Homo-oligomer: A and B are copies of this chain.
Amino acid sequence: MRRTTSPQPDGTEFSGKVEKMSERAEATRRKLLEAAEEVFAELGFFRASVAEITRRANVAQGTFYIYFKAKEDIFRALVRTMSHDLRQELAMAVASITDRAEAERVGLETFLHFVTRRRNLYIIVRECEFVDPELHRWYYSRLAEGYMRGLRQAMARGQFRQLDAEAAAYALMGAFHMVGMRWALWEGRVPPREVVESVVSIVLHGLVPRPGEGDPGQPAG
């Protein structure tokens, strides 16, 4: 929806390649993307080879270059996919929630489910920093934008305190990301409920107990 006006750090997307492909071509392209997602996640961008990708996609090596100009190209396509899908999923999950605190919880959960379900894509996005730094910045800036909008709204409504929205957005994204790494990537599963609760709790109420508070937190881990 907002796709048209936002900056595209790459020349590839949306470039007149509007001529729609045949079914067969579409299928081949998809096979390549799927194979690449797997291979990049397993080996990393640099150790991955186009040969391995085409092998898994069951096409000849040359076929790769019909659909992508270069190895980096397919990588970028995957990052953009993740950017799009994740933001869309977050937007949908939060759409109907008016309590921003609740939205934070749902946002975190959505994120964690997303990166667990699409672990491979998540790994790819993380490596993007070292493959195409500009795209990587674009990815996070884009995510932060959306986040900041939500935060500012909540601040305006008095649901959240007045804070530097950008600082908050990056801090929260960072917290979520690291938790995603620790549990989704390292353990291959959505973090256990207590972990999510603790994180949400910190984000909403901080580490310091409120005055006159016995202790509403989690049992220590």
Contacts and interface: CB of A to CB of B under 8 A. Distances in A.
Interface of A: 44-47, 101, 104, 126-127, 129-130, 137, 140, 148, 151-152, 154-155, 158-168, 170-179, 181-182, 186, 191, 194-199, 201-211, 213, 215-221
Contact of A164 (B155, B174, B221): B221
Interface centre among A129, A154, A174, A204 (most CB of B within 10 A): A174
Contacts of A176: 171, 174
Contacts of A47: 46
B182 A178 contact: no
A209 B172 CA distance: 17
State the 3 A-B residue pairs at the shortest beta-carbon distance, nearest first: A174-B178, A164-B221, A161-B217
A21 to B, nearest CB: 15
A207 to B, nearest CB: 4
Contacts of A202: 163, 168, 171-172, 203, 206
A191 to B, nearest CB: 7
Chain A facing B: main interface SS: helix
A218 B206 CA distance: 15
Contacts of A218: 161-164, 167
A158 B204 contact: no
Contact of A191 (B44, B101, B137, B167): B167
B204 A163 contact: no
A53 to B, nearest CB: 17
A178 B167 contact: no
Contacts of A220: 152, 155, 162-165
Given A167-B196, A170-B178, A177-B178, 6 more contacts: A168-B199, A168-B202, A171-B202, A202-B203, A203-B207, A204-B207
Given A46-B46, A129-B126, A221 B171 contact: no
Contacts of A151: 207
A167 B201 CA distance: 11
A100 to B, nearest CB: 8
Contact of A171 (B45, B127, B178): B178
